[in-house]
Amino acid sequence: APTAGLHFTPKLIQKIEKKGIKIVPVILHIGLGTFRPVEVEDLTKHKMDSEFFEISQKSADVINKALTGKRNVFVVGTSTTRALETSVTAEGFVKANRGWTDKFIYPPYEFKIVKKLITNFHMPESTLIMLAAAFADTDLLMKSYKKAIKEGYRFLSYGDAMLVI
């Protein structure tokens, strides 16, 4: 399941939309590979399992309007991030797209679409934590994880979320 979005109750979504924030869907079919640990030292040798996604023209248009207006694009989840970063045009916009991605994002990586990331706390050695580290800076992310462990935050699919800016 695309679990980062579980934090968004219908009541919270209503509050967000009342502030004029647009929420657009991206269809995801999460695969088991998302949870498979990376077992190679050379990250370029890791084979990411493919996941299916779909970005509608309507969703792409809303995201591109935000990018053109230099507005923040908050992305919920690492799989959504992968789908959007797979669907970048040469001009740095999102294109409507439907298909499979095996894009493996790890440090260093220059994000083209994602400006802010909401994600869960992930397992060590997972592709998910590596994507978050590419976005947040590895040292800062590790400090956040140490604090989360100390404070008793919940990890994994039904755990706590973090906003990475």
pLDDT of residue 2: 65
The pair of three-digit structure tokens given for residue 143, joined into one six-digit string: 């400090």
Q: Which residues contact 75 (CB under 8 A, 6 or more apart)?
A: 81, 84, 113, 114, 115, 116, 117, 118
pTM of the model: 0.90
Q: Strands, E, within the chain: which ranges?
A: 27-29, 51-55, 74-76, 97-101, 116-120, 161-164
Report residue 149 CA to chain centroid gap. Answer: 22
Digit-by-digit pLDDT tens for the chain (165 residues) are 567 888 888 999 999 999 999 999 999 988 777 778 888 889 889 888 899 999 999 999 999 999 999 998 999 999 999 999 999 999 999 999 999 999 999 999 999 999 899 998 888 888 888 999 999 988 988 999 899 989 988 887 777 888 888
pLDDT of residue 164: 87
Helix axis angle, 138-151 to 127-136, nearest 10°: 120
pLDDT of residue 1: 59
Report phi then psi at 8, rounded to 5: -95, 95
